[in-house]
Amino acid sequence: MPKNYIKKLVPKPEKLKEMKSLQFLGSILHEPNLWHINRHSVSKAFLVGIFCCFLPMPFQMVVAAVIAVWINSNLPISVALVWISNPITIPPMFYFNYLVGAYILRMPAMSFEFQLSFSWLSEKIYEIGVPLLFGSLVMGLSLSVIAYVIVEFLWRRKIRSDWAKRKALRMARTSVAGGAEG
Protein backbone atom coordinates (compact mmCIF):
# COMPACT_ATOMS: atom_id res chain seq x y z
CA MET A 1 0.00 0.00 0.00
CA PRO A 2 1.27 3.50 -0.64
CA LYS A 3 2.26 4.53 2.86
CA ASN A 4 3.11 8.13 1.90
CA TYR A 5 -0.28 8.60 0.20
CA ILE A 6 -2.09 7.45 3.34
CA LYS A 7 0.06 9.79 5.46
CA LYS A 8 -1.08 12.75 3.33
CA LEU A 9 -4.75 11.94 3.94
CA VAL A 10 -4.54 11.30 7.68
CA PRO A 11 -4.39 14.26 10.08
CA LYS A 12 -1.22 14.63 12.11
CA PRO A 13 -1.41 13.26 15.68
CA GLU A 14 0.01 16.49 17.11
CA LYS A 15 -2.81 18.48 15.52
CA LEU A 16 -5.46 16.20 17.03
CA LYS A 17 -3.78 16.19 20.45
CA GLU A 18 -3.97 20.00 20.52
CA MET A 19 -7.71 20.11 19.81
CA LYS A 20 -9.60 21.26 22.91
CA SER A 21 -12.64 19.14 22.06
CA LEU A 22 -10.53 15.98 22.36
CA GLN A 23 -8.77 16.84 25.62
CA PHE A 24 -11.19 14.70 27.64
CA LEU A 25 -9.51 11.61 26.16
CA GLY A 26 -6.34 12.36 28.10
CA SER A 27 -3.36 10.14 27.33
CA ILE A 28 -5.29 7.81 25.02
CA LEU A 29 -4.39 9.98 22.03
CA HIS A 30 -0.70 9.68 22.94
CA GLU A 31 -0.71 5.94 22.21
CA PRO A 32 1.61 5.64 19.17
CA ASN A 33 -0.10 2.53 17.76
CA LEU A 34 -3.20 4.60 17.01
CA TRP A 35 -1.23 6.70 14.53
CA HIS A 36 1.20 4.23 12.94
CA ILE A 37 0.71 3.44 9.30
CA ASN A 38 1.83 -0.13 8.87
CA ARG A 39 0.29 -3.30 7.54
CA HIS A 40 -1.19 -4.37 10.87
CA SER A 41 -2.70 -1.06 11.95
CA VAL A 42 -4.15 -0.23 8.53
CA SER A 43 -5.65 -3.67 7.94
CA LYS A 44 -7.23 -3.60 11.42
CA ALA A 45 -8.51 -0.09 10.65
CA PHE A 46 -10.28 -1.44 7.57
CA LEU A 47 -11.75 -4.22 9.68
CA VAL A 48 -13.09 -1.73 12.24
CA GLY A 49 -14.21 1.02 9.87
CA ILE A 50 -16.06 -1.19 7.42
CA PHE A 51 -17.74 -3.18 10.18
CA CYS A 52 -18.93 0.01 11.90
CA CYS A 53 -20.22 1.57 8.68
CA PHE A 54 -22.73 -1.27 8.44
CA LEU A 55 -24.13 -0.74 11.94
CA PRO A 56 -27.65 0.69 11.69
CA MET A 57 -27.20 3.28 14.43
CA PRO A 58 -26.24 6.90 14.87
CA PHE A 59 -22.73 7.91 15.96
CA GLN A 60 -20.96 5.12 14.09
CA MET A 61 -17.74 7.14 14.19
CA VAL A 62 -17.72 7.07 18.00
CA VAL A 63 -18.11 3.28 17.98
CA ALA A 64 -15.33 2.98 15.40
CA ALA A 65 -13.04 5.20 17.50
CA VAL A 66 -13.68 3.17 20.66
CA ILE A 67 -13.01 -0.13 18.89
CA ALA A 68 -9.92 1.32 17.18
CA VAL A 69 -8.50 2.37 20.55
CA TRP A 70 -9.41 -1.00 22.04
CA ILE A 71 -7.65 -3.09 19.37
CA ASN A 72 -4.89 -0.57 18.54
CA SER A 73 -5.80 0.00 14.92
CA ASN A 74 -5.13 3.23 13.07
CA LEU A 75 -7.66 5.65 14.56
CA PRO A 76 -8.05 8.18 11.71
CA ILE A 77 -8.48 5.51 9.05
CA SER A 78 -10.96 3.56 11.19
CA VAL A 79 -13.10 6.65 11.70
CA ALA A 80 -12.82 7.84 8.09
CA LEU A 81 -13.97 4.51 6.66
CA VAL A 82 -17.26 4.81 8.52
CA TRP A 83 -18.20 7.48 5.98
CA ILE A 84 -18.73 4.75 3.39
CA SER A 85 -22.23 4.86 4.84
CA ASN A 86 -23.32 8.42 4.26
CA PRO A 87 -26.70 10.02 3.58
CA ILE A 88 -26.50 8.95 -0.06
CA THR A 89 -25.40 5.33 0.46
CA ILE A 90 -27.34 4.48 3.63
CA PRO A 91 -30.76 3.79 2.02
CA PRO A 92 -29.53 1.20 -0.52
CA MET A 93 -27.05 -0.32 1.94
CA PHE A 94 -29.54 -0.78 4.73
CA TYR A 95 -32.29 -1.98 2.39
CA PHE A 96 -29.89 -4.61 1.04
CA ASN A 97 -28.90 -5.51 4.62
CA TYR A 98 -32.60 -5.87 5.46
CA LEU A 99 -33.12 -8.19 2.47
CA VAL A 100 -30.09 -10.30 3.46
CA GLY A 101 -31.32 -10.52 7.05
CA ALA A 102 -34.86 -11.43 5.98
CA TYR A 103 -33.50 -14.10 3.63
CA ILE A 104 -31.20 -15.66 6.26
CA LEU A 105 -33.90 -15.55 8.96
CA ARG A 106 -36.47 -16.87 6.45
CA MET A 107 -38.79 -13.97 7.10
CA PRO A 108 -40.88 -12.57 4.27
CA ALA A 109 -39.44 -9.30 3.03
CA MET A 110 -41.89 -6.44 3.25
CA SER A 111 -42.58 -4.32 0.22
CA PHE A 112 -40.81 -1.00 0.29
CA GLU A 113 -43.11 1.40 2.10
CA PHE A 114 -42.23 3.97 4.69
CA GLN A 115 -44.24 6.40 6.78
CA LEU A 116 -42.60 8.96 8.97
CA SER A 117 -44.70 8.37 12.07
CA PHE A 118 -44.14 6.89 15.50
CA SER A 119 -47.13 4.56 15.18
CA TRP A 120 -45.86 3.07 11.91
CA LEU A 121 -42.38 2.64 13.38
CA SER A 122 -43.66 1.00 16.59
CA GLU A 123 -45.80 -1.42 14.55
CA LYS A 124 -43.01 -2.40 12.14
CA ILE A 125 -39.99 -2.35 14.47
CA TYR A 126 -39.84 -6.13 14.84
CA GLU A 127 -40.60 -6.88 11.19
CA ILE A 128 -37.95 -4.46 9.98
CA GLY A 129 -35.54 -4.16 12.90
CA VAL A 130 -34.57 -7.80 13.43
CA PRO A 131 -33.77 -8.59 9.78
CA LEU A 132 -32.04 -5.21 9.36
CA LEU A 133 -29.85 -5.69 12.41
CA PHE A 134 -29.02 -9.30 11.59
CA GLY A 135 -28.33 -8.53 7.92
CA SER A 136 -26.19 -5.55 8.89
CA LEU A 137 -24.11 -7.68 11.26
CA VAL A 138 -23.68 -10.40 8.63
CA MET A 139 -22.71 -7.94 5.90
CA GLY A 140 -20.49 -5.90 8.23
CA LEU A 141 -18.60 -8.94 9.47
CA SER A 142 -18.28 -10.47 6.01
CA LEU A 143 -17.13 -7.36 4.18
CA SER A 144 -14.83 -6.17 6.97
CA VAL A 145 -13.03 -9.54 7.09
CA ILE A 146 -12.74 -9.51 3.29
CA ALA A 147 -11.33 -5.96 3.40
CA TYR A 148 -8.87 -6.99 6.12
CA VAL A 149 -7.61 -9.92 4.03
CA ILE A 150 -7.37 -7.80 0.86
CA VAL A 151 -5.38 -5.04 2.59
CA GLU A 152 -3.04 -7.60 4.16
CA PHE A 153 -2.56 -9.30 0.76
CA LEU A 154 -1.97 -6.08 -1.18
CA TRP A 155 0.41 -4.72 1.44
CA ARG A 156 2.45 -7.97 1.45
CA ARG A 157 2.48 -8.02 -2.34
CA LYS A 158 3.82 -4.47 -2.41
CA ILE A 159 6.54 -5.37 0.10
CA ARG A 160 7.57 -8.41 -1.96
CA SER A 161 7.65 -6.29 -5.11
CA ASP A 162 9.82 -3.64 -3.42
CA TRP A 163 12.19 -6.33 -2.13
CA ALA A 164 12.47 -7.86 -5.59
CA LYS A 165 13.24 -4.45 -7.15
CA ARG A 166 15.91 -3.75 -4.55
CA LYS A 167 17.43 -7.19 -5.05
CA ALA A 168 17.52 -6.68 -8.83
CA LEU A 169 19.10 -3.25 -8.35
CA ARG A 170 21.76 -4.71 -6.03
CA MET A 171 22.48 -7.49 -8.51
CA ALA A 172 22.78 -4.95 -11.34
CA ARG A 173 25.18 -2.81 -9.28
CA THR A 174 27.24 -5.86 -8.35
CA SER A 175 27.51 -7.02 -11.96
CA VAL A 176 28.47 -3.51 -13.14
CA ALA A 177 31.06 -3.19 -10.38
CA GLY A 178 32.38 -6.68 -11.14
CA GLY A 179 32.55 -5.92 -14.88
CA ALA A 180 34.44 -2.65 -14.26
CA GLU A 181 37.13 -4.46 -12.28
CA GLY A 182 37.78 -7.07 -14.98
Length of the chain: 182
Range from 15-29, 95-109, 123-137, 151-165 carrying the lowest mean pLDDT: 15-29
Higher pLDDT, 88 or 122: 88
Q: Determine the Cα–Cα distance for residues 104 and 49; give it in Å rounded to an integer.
A: 24
Q: What percent of the chain has pLDDT over 70?
A: 75
Within 8 A by CB and 6+ apart from 55, the residues are: 63, 136, 140
Measure the CA dihedral 1/45/18/24, to 10°.
-170
pLDDT digits (tens, 9 = 90+) for 117-132: 677 667 777 788 888 8
- Given phi > 0 = left and psi -120 to 50 = alpha, else beta, which region is 109? beta
Report the alpha-carbon distance of residue 170 to residue 176 in Å, rounded: 10
Distance CA 131, CA 137 (A): 10
Q: What is the pLDDT of residue 29?
A: 66
Query: What CA–CA distance (Å, rounded) separates 127 from 70?
Result: 34
Structure confidence at residue 65 as a pLDDT band (50, 70, 90):
confident
